Structure 1
């Protein structure tokens, strides 16, 4: 039996793809029939040391104009929902935190949290008007639990912005370079985000190519 879906906990997933390319040849990807998330069973997950080492190879920097352009898609999706003095959290800020500086340039305070590079559990017990997670959710082994934590941290009317690349067709998935990252273990489709929206009673107020913004009811 495959693992239960890490989003909706459905246990009737079907094998969607078996990777043939090295170094991940043999890795399996299963598709949930309920929320249509595609996920990698725990058997194929890297351990924490391997995951951290892989993240340390990332060369993202606040001085990298290309990285800033990439993050600006999340920034621009969130800004219309912010009131003066809004306070935020960049969840999964990584080894080169940058988005918090971009919000500061627009007059907003933003904290950083990262399991490996800015681990401060108190940050997840505070409250915020906005939370961002850019290229984070594809790495999470227990995304529904993390979503519950983040929505609990949001003030009423606050927004959660998730940036992640979405799979399209099954054939395209088999050729997709994105799945060759060993730390990418969950892939979200529009129907997955619809399920999340309904489950957490948080309407989707922005849906872009790779950015989705949820709003917590007031």
Structure 2
């Protein structure tokens, strides 16, 4: 049995008969992760991202972020001045929309904005949308990000919550993306909140969750 990358508990294996890919599901926190032998290399990963057209010309993409800001960010706006979009991608849509709403926003992306502008800084809000499903070591990244969140600051993650059913998971469209290697659900995020000193402020039961860092 593999060990869970989130809670270090035992994980059971399941095989997608269509692709022969092997996934490991944690028995404790429900995190599911792809076996490492099926990872794509960074060159192929970058090539895959280059196919995305996530710009202001994509009206649905823009509207998605407008909805996120309206529902999850603006209710906390008086506490938020300085933000970071971690894994912003090439198009900068979310940072620009945040700036239009009166917040500053730094950009970081492994491939498109690789300068680690967040080093030595703290933020009232860090957003990471459609990023954590791509990470080989999500807990390590999450711990590093939280070092850059102010006390009582916020962390917003967007990643589709997996169906907690093996058959449904193996038929799920989200696992067909060759760069998606880790999958969360609400139970996983509840475990992380408890472990890392976070309070879940709000979620949509689908793909977005907002945490607040508790003051210690």
TM, length-normalised to structure 1:
0.92
Count of residue correspondences: 212
Match of 1:217 in 2: 214
> What is the Cα deviation at residue 84 of structure 1?
6.3
Report if aligned partners of 2:106, 2:117 keep a CA contact under 8 Å in 1: no
Alignment of 1:125-136 (within 5 A): 125-136=120-131
Aligned-partner Cα distance in 2 for 1:20–1:26: 5
Report if aligned partners of 2:108, 2:117 keep a CA contact under 8 Å in 1: no
| 2:62 is equivalent to residue 64 of structure 1 | no
Of residues 176, 190, 213, the one that matches 1:180 is 176
Match of 1:191 in 2: 187
Aligned-partner Cα distance in 2 for 1:165–1:157: 25
Structure 1 stretches lacking a partner, 5+ long: none
Report if aligned partners of 1:31, 1:38 keep a CA contact under 8 Å in 2: yes
Report if aligned partners of 1:85, 1:107 keep a CA contact under 8 Å in 2: no
Aligned-partner Cα distance in 2 for 1:29–1:75: 33
Report if aligned partners of 1:74, 1:134 keep a CA contact under 8 Å in 2: no
> What is the Cα deviation at residue 63 of structure 1?
3.0
Alignment of 1:71-150 (within 5 A): 71-76=65-70, 77-83=72-78, 86-150=81-145
> What is the Cα deviation at residue 167 of structure 1?
1.2
C-alpha distance 124-171 of structure 1, shift in aligned 2 (>3 A): farther
| 2:47 is equivalent to residue 48 of structure 1 | no
Q: CA-atom RMSD, angstroms? A: 1.4
> What is the Cα deviation at residue 172 of structure 1?
1.6
Task: Report the secondary structure of 2:44's partner residue.
Answer: helix
Structure 2 stretches lacking a partner, 5+ long: none
Task: Report the secondary structure of 1:115's partner residue.
Answer: coil
Aligned-partner Cα distance in 2 for 1:192–1:157: 22
Aligned-partner Cα distance in 1 for 2:52–2:101: 26
TM, length-normalised to structure 2:
0.93
| 2:163 is equivalent to residue 165 of structure 1 | no
